[in-house]
Structure formats: C-alpha cells, structure tokens
Structure 1
Amino acid sequence: MKKLLLISCLFTLLLTCKNTPDTVEKSTATETTVNDFAIVIHGGAGTILKKNMSDEKEAQYKAKLEEAIKVGYDILKQGGSSLDAVEKTINVLEDSPLFNAGKGAVFTNEETIELDASIMDGKSLNAGASAGTKTVKNPINLARKIMEVSPHVMMAGHGAETYAKEQGLELVNQDYFKTENRLNSLKRVKEREANKEKTIAFYDDTIKDSKFGTVGCVALDKSGNLAAGTSTGGMTNKRFGRVGDVPIIGAGTYANNATCAVSGTGWGEFFIRATVAHDISALMEYKGLSLQEAANEVIQKKVPNLGGNGGIIAVDKNGDMVMDFNTAGMYRASMNDKGELYIGIYKE
C-alpha cells in the first residue's frame, strides 16, 4: 500500500513539473514584445481634407514626415536613446515651414510668434518644458536643457530665453519664424472676427487650412526606455500670453516606462482639462487597458464629451504603436524595428 502511494505521489510530481513551463508561458503572454524599438510622429491634427490638398503639397508633407522619422529611426536602430531620437526628429519638423512649430509657426493676435515645447523621460519621469518663447530656434532643445540641467520643469517667456542663451542654444530674430501662409491665415481669422461670423474666430474649422498644428514624437529604444516630446506655435490669433497643453506635462506630453509615451495635438484647453496624455497612461496602469483601448477611451469619448477635439500618437513599453484622432485628419508616421514605414494624413 505504501509502495503504491509513493508511486502515485511521484507520478503527480512529474505531471506538475511537466506543466510548469506551459503555465509560465501563459502567464507572460500578455507581455509579448511587439517591437524591440519603435518611433511615431505627428505634425498636427484638424481639418485636413483631401479636397483641399494639392498633390504637390501632399507630397511635400509626406516627404518631410519621412525625412523626420528616419532621423529618429536611425538613432534607435544604432542603439541610441529614445530621448535623442525624439529631440532630433522634432528638430526636423521645427525647421520646416510646413508645420506649426518653430519656423512656420502661427501668428498671435499681435502678429508675433510665441512657441511652446516639452519633453519627458519615461525612465526617470524627469521632464522639461518652455512656454511663450520668441527667439529660441528649436524650443524642444530648450525643453531638454531645462529637464537635464536645471532643477525646474517649466520656464516661460523672457526667463526661458535668458536660460536658453546661458545654455548656448541658438537664438534667432522673429522674422526667421514668419511665413506668408501663416500671416494670411491670421488675416482671414481677423476678418471673420471683425464680421462677427464666429464668437471665437481662431477655432473656425471652416477656414480651408485650419488645423491644430503641433509636432510631436514618441519613441521606445532598445534599452526599453520610452520618451515623448511635443513642440508648437499654439493657436492662430491667440492673445494674453495664452499657453496650451503642449508644455503642460500630463496634458500634451507624458512618458512612463511602466506604460507608454504620448504626444498630443488638438484643442489645448480641453487637453489640459482632460489631462489627456497622463490619462491614457493611467488607464493602462490602474485599469489594465491596452494602449489602443486607453487611447480610444480618451480621444474618442472623454475629449469629445467635453467639447474638444484632436489626436495623439503613442507607443507602449512593448513597442505597440497607436495613432488616434477624432478630427478629419492628422499628419502622422510610424516605423517599427523591421524598418516598415507608414505615413498617413487623412482619416482612413
């Protein structure tokens, strides 16, 4: 009897040992890596319609999106950091007159240019931001300096420009940022305002080239570190030192290695009130939602229910990428670790 019992116990033990690997494999299935590294960019969301876009202009946007994302992709492929990839990619977009960030930024009511930017490190949760600068050529560079060198998170206006000068960043005259296209947009908005066609003229989606032009980038590097960055000229015809969501950590930009990296573009006041970027991360961390589920909850439900609109790009800790928006279009691109490139403009 004792011999029989001993054999039975040994048999049970063998079965248990055999099943252990399967059990472990199943328990880690939800953490499967999608991409070892990945990068996503946006160049603004809003009323971007195929009927209003010439073939030549569409080709220009696609070419610049491709140029920008490949800069960051090459950095990641060579083992560089997600922070470097984000900063250098955004530099390309800031230097292009096609986007509302850096050169080509929209005009304020006083026909000046005021720029905002932010960047965040998902590993340390450190962040840097600048608001309302007028002479800093690449605001994303200033945001990173603030994050890595200063004890602060955000600097604004003249003080931020003074700090940029002390850090040796390139400063330019306001004329560098100005473009005829953006000036014409301001004039059209002011005409509508004068004619009282809208109470808040700078939110008029009927303007042919109206969009919430902001640029952003999110990236996951080979070390598993996430980073997010965003840069903008804000809204056409803005007044009173208005600052949107871009330099507000958790609103327009957020990165956390435990969840995801997010960069937003949209009606900033609503992105601030909804803490859009952090909310997506929080839904993943506290409710266990996937990146797509969290983005959908915030962009397709929460923001529209408040009365706002816009979009986000995001990448999670496993390399899964999302580009979600509730507007007619969003300039966007993504690249995975296999080098597969996607570029989109309109809602598909």
Structure 2
Amino acid sequence: MFSSRLSCQPDRIHRTLYTISTLAVSLAFTSVPAFAADLEPQGKPPVAIAIHGGAGTILKSSMTPEKEADYKKVLTHAVKHGYTLLQEGEKGEVAVVETIKILESSPLFNAGIGAVYTFNGEHELDASIMHGGSKNAGAVAGVKTIRSPIEAALLVMNESPHVMLSGKGAEDYAKENGLEQVDNSVFDTEFRKQALDKAKARMQQASNGYGLQRGNERFGTVGAVVLDSEGNIVAGTSTGGMTAKRYGRIGDSPVIGAGTYADNESCAVSATGHGEYFIRYNVAADICARMKYQGLSLNDAANTVVNDVLVYAGGDGGVIAIDAKGNVAMPFNSAGMYRASIDVNGNVKVAIYKD
C-alpha cells in the first residue's frame, strides 16, 4: 500500500528531493566564506611602541616611592598616547613625535623642559628622527629657542633637503616654518641647576679646570620607536645632552646611525647613554646591521651591541629597539633605564630598574 501511494505521487517526491538537495548545496556554499574568514587576520594591522626616558645610575634605594610613581605615570601616559595614535592609523613619525613631546614637556627627563644646563648656564638641545621605509631622516643640534626639538627634527626630515641643521640656522629654519619659539629660560628647572652647580664645583677642582663628567652627568635622553599600521618602523630621540657640556658639544642623539636609526628591513633604534661611545661605535646602525647581514634576532643583536661591544669599549647606557614584526628589545648595561612598551597584543610594560 505504501509503495503504491508513493508511485502515485512522483511529482511530490521529486519536488521534496530537489528542495533538500538545493538546501544542502546552499548551506555548503554559504559556510565556505565563514570558514575562510576564520583563517584571515582579524582586526586592525599590528602596531607596537617602545619608549625610554634615559639610562644611568638609577637605583631603587635612592628613589622615593612618590618620585618613582611620578616617573611611571609620565611613561605610562606617553606610551599609551603613542599606541592610541598608532591604533587610529596615524603614521609612525607622527606617533613618535607626539609621544616624545610628552616627555619633552616633563621636567623629569633631560629633554625640553628639564634639560640639563651647559657649563655656561644655558640649554642646548638636540633631536633626530628616521623613517625605516623611506630611509629619510632629520636632525637638529645645539638649538636653544625651539620649544620642541623633535618637532624641528621632523620638519627637517619632511621639508628640508638636508639631514641635520644646527644652532641659529636650525632655529631660523624652525621659526620660518612656524614652529614655536621660546626663551631659553623656559627649560630651566631647579633640580638641573643644582646638578650643574655640583658638577662645576667638582670639575673646577681638576688641574685643567675642566675635568670629566661623571655618572648621571653624562646621561639623559628620551626616545621612541614604533611599528605603524602601514608596516613602517620609525625611531626618534631628543635630549638636553650632558650636564656642564662646553664648546658646543654634540652627543649621539642627533647623529643618524649613532643615537637614532631605522630600516624596515631590520629594526628601529633609539639610544641613551654616554654619547661619545655611541658615536664611536655607531651603536644604533650596528644593531640593525647585525640583524640585516648576520641574520640575528632583534634581541640578540641589541644585547650583543649593548652588553658586549659597549661594555668592552667602556661605554654605558641602553637602547630601545623594534623590528618590522613588532618585537621589542630594551637592553641596558647601566643600573637602570626609564622605559615602557606596548606590544602587538596590547601588553603594557613600564619599568625603571634592572628587574
């Protein structure tokens, strides 16, 4: 009876089978894009950032809890601000400059406001920036009246046919292009004035009336390195230089290859420490070259230069470095280094001492 009923309704059976078959095919094809999408990277392109506020004899035993909290607060604010800009799609050079400007505006660091004094009681500021994709770079050295030296370095990189401008010429160029000018006294702080007085008293006891800078007199710089959403890496550095420096001394911070370097094929580096050694050993570029030509990882290249080459030479300080995958290295051979980073997964690290 059942079979005869089916044979009497061939059209209904065919329609039912067709509907089931069509539905199955439809489900199969609509599920493929969803599965393929799971294999593709989710969300925005990876970005990362690392910053430093100088290396030197930084000991927990000589730091009050309040002062330590102040340092960490500014470092955290700066690194998060830069990271947010990167997440929003800002170019790496913009994130570097805006991050460093926060550090330049804090009296805690030796850059901009809070810059150390020269022997003659003034402030002479240096800064540089380099783009790892274009290999374009800009720097200013020995400037006294530019509110933000890192802004001036960016201006030179973007608008000038030159790489480095110095002194009054750099100030005139910045003024002609609308950068804020200030009196040199804007950078004064009592803490740095006391440091100058101590350094001069010691130095003038030397037989030649000059002597050598010691300890933290030689240190103090701020910097940032980033990986932006376009896959470019950028490095920038800004400093007030060396306490009680004379005769227009220029350190490594504005020297491309020594204190700042960036190359998309290897890494971006910003350095801090005894600048004369960083210049002699071409520290920033050396780290990138070891990655590019020896095939070393970022961590191995940075640690080799900072903890082997520099230590052997007698130089001290540290670097922050980042590669095109967003890996970060922050080695130093001094007692401490103010530093912070946010990796490609959004993990935040803020540190001062040798943890």
Give the equivalent residue in structure 2 for 1:153. Answer: 163
Q: Work out whether 1:83 is the aligned partner of 2:90.
A: no
Q: Is the contact between residue 218 and residue 243 of structure 2 (CA under 8 Å) also seen in structure 1?
A: no
1:212 corresponds in structure 2 to 219
Partner of 2:288: 281
After superposition, the C-alpha distances for 1:251-270 in whole angstroms (9 at most, x for unaligned) are 00000111110000010000
> Following the alignment from structure 1 to structure 2, what is the Cα–Cα distance between the partners of residues 329 and 202?
22
- CA offset at residue 192 of structure 1? 1.2
Q: How does 1:224-263 map to 2 (within 5 A)?
A: 224-263=231-270
User: Which residue matches 2:28?
Assistant: none
Could you say if the C-alpha distance between residues 172 and 281 of structure 1 is closer, same or farther in structure 2, counting changes exceeding 3 Å? Answer: same
Whole-angstrom distance in 2 between the partners of 1:125 and 1:191: 44
| In the alignment, structure 1 residue 345 sits paired with structure 2 residue 355 | no
User: How many pairs does the alignment contain?
Assistant: 311
Q: Which amino acid aligns with 2:283?
A: V
Cα distance 1:150–1:311, how it changes in 2: closer, same or farther (>3 A)? same
Q: CA deviation at 1:304?
A: 1.5
Q: Secondary structure at the match of 1:144?
A: helix
2:121 counterpart of 1:111: yes
Query: In structure 1, what is the Cα distance between the partners aligned to 2:57 and 2:156?
Result: 33
Give the distance between the partners of 2:268 and 2:306, measured in 1 at CA: 15
Contact 1:260 1:315 in 2 (8 A): yes
Residue aligned with 2:351, SS: strand
Amino acid corresponding to residue 242 of structure 1 in structure 2: R
Partner of 2:228: 221
Identity %: 55
Tell me how large the CA RMSD over aligned residues is. Answer: 1.5
Distance 1:312 1:197, change over 3 A: farther
**1:347 positional shift:** 0.8
- 1:211 & 1:48 partners in 2: Cα distance? 13
Give 1:267's aligned amino acid.
H
Displacement of 1:36 in angstroms is 1.7
Please, which runs of 5 or more residues in structure 1 have no aligned partner?
A: 1-34
Q: Distance in 2 between matches of 1:96 and 1:53?
A: 18
- Alpha-carbon offset, residue 202 of structure 1: 5.2
Structure 1 residues 249-304: Cα deviation after superposition (integer angstroms, max 9, x where no partner): 00000001111100000100000000000000000000000001101111001112
- Go from structure 1 to structure 2 and tell me whether the alpha carbon gap of 1:264 and 1:171 turns closer, same or farther (over 3 Å shift): same
CA gap 1:200/1:264 in 2 versus in 1, 3 angstroms:
farther
Q: How does 1:123-134 map to 2 (within 5 A)?
A: 123-134=133-144
Q: Aligned residue for 1:333?
A: 340
Q: Which moved more, 1:39-48 or 1:67-76?
A: 67-76
Shift of 1:210: 4.9
TM-score by length of 2: 0.85
Give the SS at the match of 2:330: strand
What do the CA deviations read for 1:8-45 (whole angstroms, capped 9, x no partner)? xxxxxxxxxxxxxxxxxxxxxxxxxxx92100000000
Q: Which has the larger radius of gyration?
A: 2
Tell me what 1:140 maps to.
Answer: 150
- Unpaired stretches in structure 2, ≥5 consecutive residues: 1-44
Q: 1:257 to 1:310 in 2, by over 3 A?
A: same
Structure 2 residue identity aligned to 1:260: C
